[in-house]
């Protein structure tokens, strides 16, 4: 039976507030699972199982699948669409409220694959970028303009705190563009799939925490210079802020959005050496 018919039979009502735009095209779902590099030797984690279309693809490729779904009314639907997927568990909970380290103990090394609900795209991605320890890659369908921000290069209008935070863990690239016509109900925007392969130690930095603090400070006010943003975030005298930037080969007067992730790492290391950050 078609997914649409199973939803109808179970009296399912789409809830806009949960970003419920489902996929059904088998070729596209296969392609997303392939983009995610899901393999039999590791697990897969999905955020937002929906009617289970991507979950099934993951189940066929992974050792084990854990899928989160906030909407309990999808329980009877998923019982049908995931029948026979013995390696798959659906947790009916808000993913943002789960404890990631406990979940990682259960998963072991894992790949994230999801058609993310649009209203929590960035917070979900940031959880993995900042907290994940066993995550091997992240493959997410997001709105096209959000995808452009995730993959932006330094010095472009789309480059921001999220881009720089992602860059510490891996290189983000768009694997495919997906027109709005592929979803039902149809959203008002097109989407894209972003893949981030996690490469530990990709950018040498003493402390990931310090790096993130520097990035946060650099983008805290886009109108201010980097020097001014660092001064107010870390209570530095102007001379010290200027010295710090010069030692990293950065001219006074530049703005955060022009800096490469490597430069943020240099500033973070200098602040750690000064004992200002840990």
Q: Please give the residue ranges that form the binding site for ligand SAM (CB under 6 A).
A: 18-23, 47-51, 53-54, 68-71, 94-96, 115, 117, 120
How far apart are CB 191 and ligand SAM at their closest, in Å? 9
- Cβ contact 171:197 at 8 Å: yes
Q: In which residue are the tokens 């019982």 written? A: 79
Residue nearest to ligand SAM (CB): 48
How far apart are CB 17 and ligand SAM at their closest, in Å? 8
Nearer to ligand SAM, 148 or 191 (CB): 191
Residue (of 115, 103, 111, 102) closest to 40 by Cα position = 111
Nearer to ligand SAM, 25 or 243 (CB): 25
Q: Is 164 left (phi over 0), alpha (psi -120 to 50) or beta?
A: alpha
Q: Please say whether the dihedral angle defined by the alpha carbons of residues 146, 20, 125 and 167, taken in this order, is positive or negative.
A: negative
How far apart are CB 124 and ligand SAM at their closest, in Å? 8
In DSSP terms, which residues pair with 137 in a beta bridge? Answer: 111, 197
How far apart are CB 255 and ligand SAM at their closest, in Å? 34
Nearer to ligand SAM, 22 or 211 (CB): 22
- Cβ contact 133:104 at 8 Å: yes
Q: In which residue are the tokens 């209203």 written? A: 119
Nearer to ligand SAM, 43 or 229 (CB): 43
- Cβ contact 140:112 at 8 Å: yes
Nearer to ligand SAM, 19 or 109 (CB): 19
How far apart are CB 104 and ligand SAM at their closest, in Å? 17
- Cβ contact 137:198 at 8 Å: yes
How far apart are CB 165 and ligand SAM at their closest, in Å? 20
Nearer to ligand SAM, 94 or 145 (CB): 94
Q: Please say whether the dihedral angle defined by the alpha carbons of residues 220, 100, 135 and 73, taken in this order, is positive or negative.
A: negative
- Cβ contact 117:50 at 8 Å: no
Tokens, residue 127: 């959880």
How far apart are CB 163 and ligand SAM at their closest, in Å? 23
Residues 6+ apart with CB under 8 A from 157: none
Q: In which residue are the tokens 């402390």 written? A: 207
Nearer to ligand SAM, 100 or 120 (CB): 120
């Amino acid at each position: 039976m078609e997914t649409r018919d199973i939803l109808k039979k179970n009296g399912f009502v789409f809830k806009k507030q949960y970003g419920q735009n489902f996929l059904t095209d088998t070729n596209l779902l296969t392609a997303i699972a392939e983009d995610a590099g899901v393999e039999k030797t590791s697990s897969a984690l999905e955020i937002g199982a929906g009617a289970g279309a991507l979950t099934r693809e993951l189940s066929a490729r992974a050792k084990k699948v854990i899928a989160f779904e906030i909407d309990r009314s999808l329980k009877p639907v998923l019982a049908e669409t995931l029948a026979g997927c013995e390696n798959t568990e659906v947790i009916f909970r808000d993913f943002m409220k789960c404890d990631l380290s406990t979940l990682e103990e259960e998963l072991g090394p894992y790949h994230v694959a999801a058609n993310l609900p649009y209203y929590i795209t960035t917070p979900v991605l940031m959880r993995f970028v900042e907290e994940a320890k066993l995550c091997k890659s992240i493959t997410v369908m997001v709105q096209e303009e959000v995808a452009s921000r995730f993959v932006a290069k330094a010095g472009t209008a789309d480059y921001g705190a999220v881009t720089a935070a992602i860059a510490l863990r891996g290189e983000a690239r768009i694997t495919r563009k997906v027109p709005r016509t592929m979803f039902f109900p149809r959203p008002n925007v097109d989407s894209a799939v972003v893949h981030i392969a996690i490469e530990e130690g990709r950018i040498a930095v003493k402390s990931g925490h310090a790096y993130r603090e520097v990035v946060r400070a650099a983008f805290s006010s886009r109108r201010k210079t980097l020097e001014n943003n660092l001064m107010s975030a870390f209570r530095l005298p102007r001379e010290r802020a200027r010295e710090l930037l010069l030692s990293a080969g950065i001219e006074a007067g530049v703005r955060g959005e022009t800096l490469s992730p490597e430069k943020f790492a240099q500033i973070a290391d200098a602040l750690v050496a000064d004992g200002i950050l840990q």
